[in-house]
Amino acid sequence: MDVWFHNEITYPFVPQDVLDRADSVRGSLPNRYCDPRVAAELFEECLDEFLLCDEVGLNVVAIEHHAGINSLLGANPLLLGILARQTRKARVLSLGTLISLRPDPVRVAEEYATADVISRGRLEIGFVKSGGSEMASNQANPINNVERYWEAIDLVTKALAHRDGPFSWEGKHFTHRHVNIWPPPYQQPHPRMWAATGDPDTVAEVGRRGMVNVMVLRGADGAKRAWAAYRRAREEAALPKVGLDHFGYAALVYVGDTHEEGVRIGEKLLWFLNTSLKSAPQYSRFLPGATPPEAAPAVYRSQPRPAPPAGDGNGKRVVSAFTNAATLIGVTAEQAMQRGILFAGSPDTLYRQIVDFHDTVGGFGHLVMVGRSGFLTHAEAERGIKLFAKEVLPRLREIAPVPVS
């Protein structure tokens, strides 16, 4: 199993009474609550943590979120450029430039190709569907977001892989009549591609394309459901089976010297769920397209009446990102550990939790560990990284990705 260190670079320093009064802690919270000097310190610390990961054998993840306390990483390619140059061994996963929000995917392909060249082929490219307040922050139409997502991925892929001079793209959402990026990516024809999504329809397409599917904080049931959809889609398309290296799982992870210490410090990571997910109704339950209109009776009312679960017409239950987020706010450490959202403990107990979860969901080849969030300190993050790399990583590496039988 490969392990990837993930840090949203959260900004937890807004006074709690301000957060309590705000409708939303993302999208609309005024940026006067973000002190750029404090942000500079945070970037300094977090970049050092990424470099420490590089030193001790962990891969690193660069994410993107906009306009909120949940992340200061509005500009993914900037972090990517720094990591590409300053790390030396780690693979660098962009997860990712929010592709359906960007007006020109060709520019994104240029950024990715350049980062891959600077890192001499250590880049991995991940795509995230985005949602909620990101639509407002980036003026992206939420209704056809998924269409733009796939068309942008097609165009980025073609731009990265094409070697024969300018080609033209006149698609539904993107037009670029003269595409010829320099430099091309270091890896041929292009870096491996990932997609972070939990909804079965999107996962099915991820499966047909053979991308790595990473499930973020979805628990065992969500992961099993999604990966079944991935495998079923490949089977239905008569495509060869893929190994466990095509599946990744992201959770909050912390290791301490003792189980008690690991849980006590790891619990701080729940800030990301309990505090930074608060989102105004226009970015969540009333976001156009977030749930099918047929689900409105369960979504629009303040006191939802019992209603049949929303379906996609094929009997599959659709769990939107909004619905998933709603179940995460207010979760306790015990619940989070039970659901496979938080793995925390001593090296032994943490290893056991991860292996149990791995076996429950039928295996996965990548663990994405969210190792710092909220008020978890720089010193705690670095201690956790070092201990994890020394005591847990070697054992997880022994879990080899095997072809799916």
Partner 1 sequence: MTVTSSGRERLSVADLDLEVVRQGAGRPLLLLHGFQTVAPDAPFLDLLGRHAEIIAPSHPGFGDSPRPADFETVYDLVHLYLELLETLRHETVSLMGLSFGGWLAAEIAVKAGARIDRLVLVDALGIKISDPETPDILDVFNAHPREVVRASWHAPKKWAPRYDDMPDDQLVRVARARDALCLYGWHPYMHNPRLRRWLGRIRRPALVVWGASDGVVKPSYGEAYSKLIPGSRFALIPGAGHHPEIEQPRAFADCVGAFLDE
* Footprint of partner 1 (CB under 8 A): 23, 136, 139, 141-144, 280-282, 286, 288-289, 291, 293-297, 299-303, 307
Residue 148 CB, nearest approach to partner 1 (Å): 12
DSSP 8-state symbol, 272? H
> Judged by CB, which is closer to partner 1: 296, or 355?
296
> Judged by CB, which is closer to partner 1: 183, or 288?
288
The amino acid occupying position 222 is G
Cα distances (angstroms) measured from residue 180 to each of 58, 176, 177, 255: 34, 10, 10, 46
Residue 288 CB, nearest approach to partner 1 (Å): 4
Q: What kind and span of H or E run contains 371?
A: strand 366-372
Cα 312 to chain centroid, rounded: 24
The upper half-sphere exposure of residue 240, i.e. CA atoms within 13 Å in the direction of its Cβ, equals 4
Cα distances (angstroms) measured from residue 285 to each of 70, 101, 296, 302: 19, 20, 9, 10
DSSP lists the bridge partners of residue 345 as 255
> Judged by CB, which is closer to partner 1: 144, or 335?
144
Residue 291 CB, nearest approach to partner 1 (Å): 8
Rounded Cα–Cα distance for residues 270 and 122 (Å): 31
Residue 323 CB, nearest approach to partner 1 (Å): 15
> Judged by CB, which is closer to partner 1: 147, or 348?
147
Residue 218 CB, nearest approach to partner 1 (Å): 25
> Judged by CB, which is closer to partner 1: 57, or 297?
297
- Output the 3-class SS for 197-221: CCCHHHHHHHHHHCCEEEEECCHHH
> Judged by CB, which is closer to partner 1: 166, or 293?
293
Residue 67 CB, nearest approach to partner 1 (Å): 12
* Beta carbons of 27 and 137 less than 8 angstroms apart: yes
